Amino acid sequence: MPKPEVKEVKITSTVRYQPSERDTELLTKWKSRFKRAKEFREPYQAKWLRMYRLYRAYQHKQNYAYNTRLMPPIAFEIVKTVVSRLATA
């Protein structure tokens, strides 16, 4: 099977996008909204990650109590208990 010919075209144009005044206003508006949303979410992000790790029973390597590697999934048990109670209610 013959190989297809590939033409390589180098882009030499250095014309950059110059947004209009309206586009600039929209860009700044949406950038500020995303920044506010990110700042609002940041305090909760660490808590969510901590709760997820508890649910999945992850553990830190240096945080073993008495050199044991057992970590009971207490958060998982609590969530599953509440879910089953809500489902039967």
* Measured distance CA(71)–CA(77) in Å, rounded: 12
- How many domains does the chain fold into? 1
**Are 76 and 55 within 8 A, CB to CB?**
yes
CB of 57 within 8 A of CB of 72?
A: yes
Residue 51 in domain: yes
pLDDT at 82: 87
Spacing of C-alpha 27 from chain mean position: 23
The pTM for the full model equals 0.48
**Any idea how long the chain is?**
89
Q: Is the pLDDT confidence value at 32 over 80? A: yes
Q: Please tell me the predicted confidence (pLDDT) of residue 34.
A: 98
Domain residues for 38?
Answer: 21-61+69-88
Residue 78 is assigned to a structural domain of this protein = yes
Instruction: Note the helical H segments in the chain.
Output: 21-56, 74-88
Instruction: Quickly state the pLDDT bin for 45 (edges 50, 70, 90).
Output: very high
49-73 pLDDT, tens digit each: 988 888 887 776 665 666 666 677 7
